[in-house]
């Protein structure tokens, strides 16, 4: 089946000037994105290497050996990675564009683990364990206390993030805890370095550390003060609340005193409902309306936690703040001869935004939508999607785990065989967008590779990464 599809693909794609122009434009965009990605990686390496270099320079203090130097170097790198974490949560769009939101979220997790490992090894190598039994709090230097607080805060931060769901910490409680612990860890670590003094005892070292501290403070001020101030100037109100299937609610939001925002189909925003934009907690939701629609926007929210379960009780007129748009999961980011959209459950929201946008634009390119759900009654937006079939070159394939008795379409889980049965010849020139829970996306990515979909044309977005 794989070979047949690939052969049909190559045979059915005549070369045209339009296709050539599209491919050149796509290549230019890809090269620019790669260049930006390389630049950001270079900055990351620089941030980690700079403190490492000056930590190992002029280390001729009496009694200071390789063990101490190595320990200090690891501590500096760990602190630098903690600073990078601040930049990643600042929602800087220029950073997200080359990599995508999913990649940044995963990177945020991985360097969190790496930073913790560096810090713990630093503590293990630098602590005087022989004095542990004779430990006296009153005689312990302040630099040790601040170092201990920084390490403990980092441990608690990582542990509560990894086991948040197991410990049944609500998203709101976890986000507050996460923010507080991150600030405590970084501030305590900076004070620890200053109190040790030896590594900031020259002017150039003080300048470097001042710049790093300023970057940390600026990230915090931007996230908690300046950005909320900007968002506060552009409030929204709830215009309409529409119940959907599978415990999902659609909020229609209308700009209050401004022109709204322009977004690309498939993007998302951080939403704060009925609270101040200075609140620590905000929630990410994909737009499910057309990007060509001016004024109001729609977001789909499935009841899954404290906030989302209470959305259905929100009243029209409630004040809302919108931080967005964010993300590069969009058909506007990638040129293709057609589109394959794959959605699991409420992951249909960004796919619906793409479909409605294509319909409003009069786009005639072929689109195949695969919608995976547990049962027919739980298929979100099935009426709206069905209505778009008359306006688009659209094929909809529903895949049900628990089909009704009279069901004659696809059943079970979306796999390579189902994809191969319904994708047209020439599918390798499509762009592929998949949104849903992590297990489904892992299976879908493997299935797409199996049927020969080009890896650089497969784009995914998890809706359970918070």
Cis peptide before 325 (omega within 30 of 0): yes
For residues 72 and 214, membership in a common domain is answered with yes
For residues 299 and 351, membership in a common domain is answered with no
Distance CA 324, CA 346 (A): 20
Three-class SS of residue 431? Answer: strand
Choose the final residue of a domain: 230, 247, 264: 230
Q: CA torsion 55→59→64→65, rounded to 10°? A: 80
For residues 239 and 191, membership in a common domain is answered with no
Task: Report the CATH number that the domain containing residue 152 is assigned in CATH.
Answer: 1.20.120
Cα–Cα distances (Å) from 136 to 39, 132, 449, in that order, read 49, 9, 61
Burial 159-183 (b: 16+ CB within 10 A, else e): ebbeebeeeebebbebbebbbebbe
Task: Report the CATH number that the domain containing residue 434 is assigned in CATH.
Answer: 3.40.50.80
For residues 90 and 204, membership in a common domain is answered with yes
Distance CA 146, CA 84 (A): 20
pLDDT for position 162: 85
Average pLDDT over residues 286-301: 94
For residues 72 and 37, membership in a common domain is answered with yes
Three-class SS of residue 219? Answer: helix
pLDDT for position 96: 66
For residues 162 and 257, membership in a common domain is answered with no
Q: 134 lies in a domain?
A: yes
Which of 90, 73, 55, 45 has the alpha carbon at shortest distance from 208? 55
pLDDT for position 12: 35
Cis peptide before 309 (omega within 30 of 0): no
Average pLDDT over residues 179-194: 85
Distance CA 169, CA 182 (A): 17
Distance CA 217, CA 186 (A): 10
Q: Is residue 435 pLDDT above 90, yes or no?
A: yes
- Sequence-distant (≥ 6) Cβ neighbours of residue 405 within 8 angstroms: none
Higher pLDDT, 291 or 204: 291
Q: Is residue 207 pLDDT above 80, yes or no?
A: no
pLDDT for position 243: 92
pLDDT in tens, 67-118: 677 777 778 788 777 777 766 666 666 666 666 676 677 777 888 888 888 8
Q: 27 lies in a domain?
A: no
Q: Is residue 5 pLDDT above 70, yes or no?
A: no
pLDDT for position 249: 93
Which of 430, 416, 250 has the alpha carbon at shortest distance from 346? 250
Say what angle helices 171-196 and 66-88 make with each other, to 10 degrees: 140
Q: 26 lies in a domain?
A: no
Q: 108 lies in a domain?
A: yes
For residues 125 and 159, membership in a common domain is answered with yes
- Sequence-distant (≥ 6) Cβ neighbours of residue 164 within 8 angstroms: 174
pLDDT for position 23: 44
pLDDT for position 337: 94
Q: 153 lies in a domain?
A: yes
Among 4-18, 141-155, 377-391, where is mean pLDDT lowest?
4-18
For residues 105 and 49, membership in a common domain is answered with yes
pLDDT for position 239: 95
Of the segments 115-124, 199-208, 261-270, 307-316, which one has the largest average pLDDT value?
261-270
HSE-CB for 92 with a 13 A CA cutoff: 14
Choose the final residue of a domain: 230, 250, 283: 230
Structure tokens, 421: 């049965």
Three-class SS of residue 271? Answer: strand
Q: 291 lies in a domain?
A: yes
Q: Is residue 125 pLDDT above 70, yes or no?
A: yes
pLDDT for position 144: 85
Find tokens 């690939």 and name the residue: 6
The two counts, helices (H) then strands (E), for the chain are 14, 12
pLDDT in tens, 228-257: 999 999 999 999 999 999 899 999 999 999
Question: What percentage of the chain exceeds 70 in pLDDT?
Answer: 77
pLDDT in tens, 15-33: 334 334 444 444 455 555 5
Question: What percentage of the chain exceeds 90 in pLDDT?
Answer: 41
Asked if 185 and 153 touch (Cβ cutoff 8 Å), the reply is yes
Length of the chain: 466
Three-class SS of residue 36? Answer: helix
pLDDT for position 6: 34
Which of 393, 345, 343, 348 has the alpha carbon at shortest distance from 370? 343
Find tokens 């910490």 and name the residue: 169
For residues 319 and 343, membership in a common domain is answered with no
pLDDT in tens, 337-359: 999 999 998 999 999 999 999 99
For residues 126 and 220, membership in a common domain is answered with yes
Confidence of residue 50 (pLDDT cuts 50, 70, 90): low
Mean pLDDT of the chain: 81
Element (H, E) at 251: strand 248-255
Higher pLDDT, 74 or 446: 446
Q: 391 lies in a domain?
A: yes
Q: Is residue 376 pLDDT above 80, yes or no?
A: yes
For residues 226 and 244, membership in a common domain is answered with no
Choose the final residue of a domain: 230, 256, 283: 230
Higher pLDDT, 16 or 34: 34
Tally of structural domains, the chain: 3
Structure tokens, 398: 């529903």
Q: 24 lies in a domain?
A: no
Structural domain boundaries, residue 365? 2-19+330-462
For residues 119 and 205, membership in a common domain is answered with yes
Which of 285, 430, 272 has the alpha carbon at shortest distance from 353? 285
Which of 192, 217, 293 has the alpha carbon at shortest distance from 252? 293
Find tokens 């939101």 and name the residue: 101
Distance CA 151, CA 198 (A): 20
Q: How far is CA 30 from the centre of its chain?
A: 20
């Amino acid at each position: 089946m794989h070979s047949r599809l690939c052969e049909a693909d190559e045979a059915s794609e005549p070369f045209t000037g339009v296709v050539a122009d599209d491919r050149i434009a796509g290549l230019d965009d890809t090269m620019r994105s790669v260049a930006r990605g390389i630049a950001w990686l270079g900055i990351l390496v620089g941030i980690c290497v700079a403190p490492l270099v000056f930590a190992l320079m002029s280390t001729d203090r009496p009694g200071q050996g390789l063990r101490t130097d190595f320990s200090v170097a690891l501590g500096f790198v760990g602190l630098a990675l903690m600073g990078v974490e601040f930049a990643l949560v600042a929602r800087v769009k220029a950073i997200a564009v080359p990599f995508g939101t999913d990649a940044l979220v995963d990177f945020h997790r991985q360097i969190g683990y790496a930073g913790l490992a560096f810090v713990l090894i630093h503590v293990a190598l630098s602590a005087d364990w022989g004095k542990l039994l004779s430990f006296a709090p009153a005689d312990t230097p302040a630099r040790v206390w601040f170092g201990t607080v920084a390490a403990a805060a980092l441990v608690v931060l990582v542990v509560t993030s990894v086991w948040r769901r197991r410990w049944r910490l609500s998203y709101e409680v976890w986000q507050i805890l996460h923010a507080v612990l991150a600030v405590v860890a970084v501030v305590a670590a900076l004070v620890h370095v200053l109190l040790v003094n030896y590594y900031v005892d020259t002017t150039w070292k003080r300048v470097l550390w001042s710049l790093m501290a300023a970057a940390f403070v600026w990230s915090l001020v931007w996230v908690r003060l300046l950005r909320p101030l900007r968002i506060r100037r552009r409030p929204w109100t709830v215009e309409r609340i529409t119940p959907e299937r599978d415990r999902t609610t659609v909020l229609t939001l209308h700009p209050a005193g401004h022109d709204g925002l322009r977004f690309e189909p498939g993007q998302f925003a951080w939403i704060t409902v009925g609270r101040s934009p200075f609140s620590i907690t905000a929630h990410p939701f994909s737009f499910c309306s057309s990007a060509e629609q001016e004024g109001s926007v729609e977001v789909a929210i499935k009841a899954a936690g404290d906030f989302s379960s209470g959305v259905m009780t929100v009243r029209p007129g409630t004040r809302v703040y919108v931080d967005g748009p964010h993300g590069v999961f969009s058909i506007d980011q990638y040129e293709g001869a057609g589109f394959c959209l794959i959605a699991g459950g409420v992951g249909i929201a960004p796919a619906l935004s793409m479909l409605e946008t294509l319909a409003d634009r009069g786009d005639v390119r072929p689109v195949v939508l695969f919608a995976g759900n547990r049962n027919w009654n739980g298929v979100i937006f099935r009426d709206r999607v069905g209505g778009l079939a008359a306006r688009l070159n659209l094929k909809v394939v529903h895949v049900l785990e628990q089909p009704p008795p009279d069901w004659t379409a696809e059943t079970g889980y979306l796999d390579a065989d189902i994809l191969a049965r319904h994708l047209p010849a020439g599918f390798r020139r499509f762009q592929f967008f998949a949104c849903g829970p992590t297990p489904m996306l892992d299976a879908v990515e493997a299935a797409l590779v199996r049927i020969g979909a080009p890896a650089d044309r497969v784009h995914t977005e998890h809706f359970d990464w918070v």
